[in-house]
Every structure is written in structure tokens, then in C-alpha cells.
Chains A and B, each alone.
Chain A
């Protein structure tokens, strides 16, 4: 969402949510991150941990803490179309420190490319949760804002780590935007298959919320590649090649009918129109 809304509006969203709970002045990135963390703890007390927050997301290695964070990913939801509630199969993750360092290197890379984007990554992500899955590379949930679940392998390239961060940041910023403006006019209607649409990345019929997320992820990954001059696709393994991404974005847009527009608030319809 960085490339959709820009830095200022995304920060404004964070400030608005914080302002709904407390007032204050934040003179540094860490002050703002701590305030957003307090907001997250208030709305999601089940993911609250007694862990020192730093500018970079903190690697959670204590098994009890990992189990607490993983709860946020195992809540059943009728909007789960791919058995998402059982995605994390094991919290034992060999070499998680090694992979965390690769993620931190990616944040440094992003910082050298676009300091606004890196600042949003640092503010939004509090915790790194490594967990094994045979189904997904990682993910985010609106049940556990600020938690980044990863399941990397040695095949991930430096570009993959950067794109993974852009991908998950887009989800998190969409969750935050949804809490400020509301994104769907009738949540129960999202469950109905007749209201499914075509997703950008997986390229299949999915619930509208997943489709909207995939659309903005696709747009933001594409923009990130364009901004940083990715001239060849050989360095990417997590996301589709650029031409496929462009096609996926178009296919999603073509699949959206008036019934979908009616299920989305003006906020999402406008973001779609101008994205």
C-alpha cells in the first residue's frame, strides 16, 4: 500500500488509530512504533508479549512466545478458503537466526532504495515468527497485526526477501486502512461463492477480501520492481514473473462486477480506481 497511498497517508492511518486510544507526541520512529504497538495490544490482547521492541522487527525464539503469536494464525474463519487456519504446522524452525539476518539485510537494502518504504516496514512489523508449513511461504493475519510469519528456504534470493517484505507490508497497511475507513459493506456476503472474484497472484476464484489483497500486493510488487530497475526476472522465485503479474492484475480488474463494487466501500472502490 506504500505505492498506492504513499508514505504520508499510511502514517496518517497509523496516527488515527493510535489517536482513537491515546494522545501524545512521537519524536522518533521507535516512539511511534511503540504507540502503534500499544494500540495493537489493546485490540489484540491475545498476542501481547513482554518483549523489548526495537526499530527492526524482533525475532521471537522463545517457544511459549511463539505459541502465543501463532494463535493469531490459527483462528478459524469462514473466509479461509485454503485451510489457512492450519497453515503453520510446526514452530520448530532450524536456523531461524540465519534467515532473520537475511530479512534484516533485505530491510537494509530497501532502506538504501527507498527510506520511506523501509520506515513503514520498521514501524509496522514488531515480531518475526518462524514456522514451518508445507502450504505457504509465510503470511499475515488481521488477527495479529504487526506479526510477520515466515517460512523461508535457502532458495529465497535477496530480491525474494525484499518482495516478501513489500508483499506483507501491503497486507498489514491494508488491515490498518480497513480499521480507519472500513473496506466492506457486508462481511457475511463475502462468504458466498457467487461473490468470489479472480485473484491476482494465485489466479483462481477466491473470496473478495483475498482478491482485493492480492490485487494491491500485485500492484505494489510491480511498482517496487519498476522503481528499482529489476531488468531480469531470474532473481525472483516467490512471485510471478513481471508479465504474469501484469496479466494477473488485469484479470482481477476484469473479474470485478457491479456486485463486487457494491460489497466494497467507497474507500476501496476509489483506491482501486486510482491504483
Chain B
């Protein structure tokens, strides 16, 4: 069984675009998250 997928990109508001770009910049300059399923 397959789910039908039919999506378009959305017109982001100026504020949303700016927020996403700011987050992208911030994350590129900060420490990354590395998450693992640790052996116990």
C-alpha cells in the first residue's frame, strides 16, 4: 500500500523565511547534535 503524495512548495512569509535562514546560520555556527542508541 502506498500513500498518495502530492505536495507543492509553499510561499513562506518574509518573517518565516528570515527565521529559517537565521536558524540555519545559527546551527552552522553551533555544536551539532549527535544522538545514538547506546549499548548497555
* A and B are partners in one complex rather than unrelated chains: yes
Question: Could you list which residues of chain A lie within 8 angstroms of chain B, going by C-beta atoms?
Answer: 11, 15-20, 22-29, 31-32, 35, 43, 73, 75, 77-80, 82, 84-85, 87, 111-112, 115-116, 118-119, 133-143, 149, 164, 167-168, 171, 175, 178-182, 187-188, 190-191, 201-202, 209-210, 213-214, 238
Report which of B5, B11, B21, B27 forms a contact with A142, defined as CB distance below 8 A. Answer: B27
State A17–B40 Cα separation when bound (angstroms).
Answer: 36
Of A15, A31, A85, A119, the residue contacting B10 (CB under 8 A) is A15
- Set A43, A139, A182: member contacting B36, Cβ < 8 A: A139
In the complex, the chain B residue whose C-beta lies closest to that of A172 is B35
Q: How far is the CB of A182 from chain B (nearest CB, A)?
A: 5
Distance in angstroms from B24 CB to nearest chain A CB is 7
Partner of B31, one of A20, A29, A79, A182: A79
Residue in B19, B20, B24, B34 whose CB lies within 8 Å of A84? B34
- The one of B3, B7, B39 that contacts A115, using a Cβ cutoff of 8 Å: B3
Binding site for A on B (CB under 8 A): 1-3, 5-12, 16-17, 19-24, 26-28, 30-40
Say whether A209 contacts B21, CB under 8 Å: no
- Give the residue of B5, B8, B12, B35 whose beta carbon is less than 8 angstroms from that of A16: B12
A115-B1, A180-B20 are known contacts. Are A25 and B33 too (CB-CB below 8 A)? no
Cα(A134)–Cα(B17), bound, Å: 42
Residues of B within 8 A of A111 (CB): 1
Q: How far is the CA of A214 from the CA of B33 in the complex (A)?
A: 12
Which B residues touch A11, using CB under 8 A?
7
Contact check, B7 vs A187: say whether CB atoms are below 8 A apart: no
Cβ contact within 8 Å between A19 and B31: no
Contacts of B16 in A (CB 8 A): 16
> With A and B bound together, what is the CA distance between A20 and B19 in angstroms?
10
* Cβ-defined contact, A137 with B37, below 8 A: yes
For the complex formed, measure the closest distance between the CB of B13 and the CB atoms of chain A, giving whole angstroms: 11
B1 to chain A, nearest CB (A): 5
Whether A79 and B32, one on each chain, are in contact in the complex, defined by CB atoms closer than 8 angstroms, is yes
